[in-house]
Chains A and B, each alone.
Chain A
Amino acid sequence: GESVGLHLPTLSVQEGDNSIINCAYSNSASDYFIWYKQESGKGPQFIIDIRSNMDKRQGQRVTVLLNKTVKHLSLQIAATQPGDSAVYFCAENIRIQGAQKLVFGQGTRLTINP
């Protein structure tokens, strides 16, 4: 069935270190993947996206890697800051019978230690 899951539910890193959040997906037909950041009490905030015909995309301090062979997605955050503490979700865009929808993973809680 359709599912997007994460390897680790929690991750703690020291401020200034790099962090990597992983995500596995199961729908081979997904054409688009997105990482969201959700802070406590707020809605998801777009971080970065990648289309299925790419394997890497870089933003400001963030990089998303896509490995379609093993259906794996990762988010790398460089030089983490306290403001990076949040829950991070991967999501895949799937098309079913002409309609599109986002399927979210469970989420990884990232904690930045001072």
Chain B
Amino acid sequence: NAGVMQNPRHLVRRRGQEARLRCSPMKGHSHVYWYRQLPEEGLKFMVYLQKENIIDESGMPKERFSAEFPKEGPSILRIQQVVRGDSAAYFCASSRRESAYEQYFGPGTRLTVT
């Protein structure tokens, strides 16, 4: 049973470009959570999605950031017009049900904005 998959593992973008981060949850998991981690800091919740629904986006910046989890395919975190401050590690976690008890994390995508 494969774990949570994220790709790409490393992404370099110039300021103003778009970044698209993908997360494939564990098999049988229909709940996805995105977190951002700055160097030497803890993970900060961004958004919680179920298939085709955004449940909680209280941690998402109001502009430039969006997330989706379509009926088919991976969850996508999209950052438009990236700025240097967007450089961070972005982690995805998935669970079978709405539960913090069973969140499994992926290896993360490290975004560098130059």
Q: What's the tally of chain B residues with a CB closer than 8 Å to chain A?
A: 26
Q: Given A34-B100, A42-B108, A93-B100, A99 and B43 touching (CB < 8 A)?
A: no
Residue of A nearest to B59 (CB): A101
Q: How many angstroms from the CA of A107 to the CA of B43 in the assembled complex?
A: 9
Chain B residues positioned under 8 Å from A104 (CB to CB): 35, 42-44
Interface flag for B74 (CB, 8 Å): no
Please report the C-alpha to C-alpha distance between residue A72 and residue B105 in the assembled complex, in whole angstroms: 25
Contacts of A53 in B (CB 8 A): none
Q: Do B108 and A32 touch across chains, with their CB atoms under 8 A apart? A: no
List of B residues within 8 angstroms of A60 by Cβ: none
Residues of chain A within 8 A (CB-CB) of B40 are 107
Which residues between 32 and 49 of chain B lie within 8 Å of chain A, taking CB atoms?
A: 33, 35, 40-45, 48
Among the interface residues A34, A93, A104, which one has the most CB atoms of the partner chain B within 10 A?
A104
Q: Which residues of chain A are near B48, meaning CB under 8 Å?
A: 99-101
Nearest CB in chain B to that of A106: its residue: B42
Partner of B41, one of A36, A100, A103, A107: A107
Number of chain A residues close to chain B: CB under 8 A: 24
Decide if A101 touches B100 in the complex (CB within 8 Å): yes
Q: Closest CB of chain A to B35's CB: distance in Å?
A: 8
Interchain CB contact (< 8 A) of B98 among A36, A100, A106: A100
**B43 x A32 contact (CB < 8 A):** no
Can you pick out 22 interface pairs between chain A and chain B where the beta carbons lie within 8 Å of each other? A41-B107, A43-B105, A43-B107, A44-B91, A45-B105, A89-B43, A91-B100, A93-B100, A93-B101, A96-B58, A99-B55, A100-B98, A100-B99, A100-B100, A101-B33, A101-B56, A101-B100, A102-B100, A103-B45, A105-B42, A106-B42, A107-B40
